[in-house]
Amino acid sequence: MPAFQNLILTDRAATPVAKTFAPIERNTQTGVVTVAHSDDGSVLARKKLTLSTRKVNGKRKVRMLLQVPVVQTETINGIASPRVVREIYIDATFTIPDTSSDQEKKDAIGMFQSAFDSSKVLVNDTIIKGETIW
């Protein structure tokens, strides 16, 4: 059983930056945990990754949600206030039968992860560039 701990995630900047997501919330009754990172320490700009797990009909369902807000400072009547102007949500649900072997799970996760490589234009250009598949 993994400990509720920091999670270091790397972005895809020209010079990649590792961001440390620190534990902020754990609900033992629902099995939901949240880790977060803020570049400037502000709660409003906090990026969050939530993991939840539950058992359903002999399968384990694991949901991972990444929320990435974009914050800008808005000035009204000389008062500057930060506000969220948009937010990216990435939501993935994994449904894994209890009878799956560790290798089957590793292979499936490896293929899923590989789909997001920037050289895989079918996925990359659809998500990153917003292009339509023809």
How many beta carbons lie within 10 A of that of residue 106, not counting itself?
Answer: 10
d(CA 52, CA 62): 6
Q: Range of 123's domain?
A: 100-134
pLDDT of the residue at 39: 83
Q: What is the pTM of this model?
A: 0.87
Contact 40, 24 (CB under 8 A): no
**Does 81 lie in the same domain as 54?**
yes
**Does 78 lie in the same domain as 14?**
yes
**Does 43 lie in the same domain as 63?**
yes
pLDDT string in tens for the chain (134-residue length): 788 999 999 999 999 999 999 999 999 888 899 999 988 888 899 999 999 999 999 999 999 999 999 999 899 999 988 899 999 999 999 999 999 999 999 999 999 999 999 999 999 999 999 999 99
Question: What CATH number is associated with residue 70?
Answer: 3.30.380.10
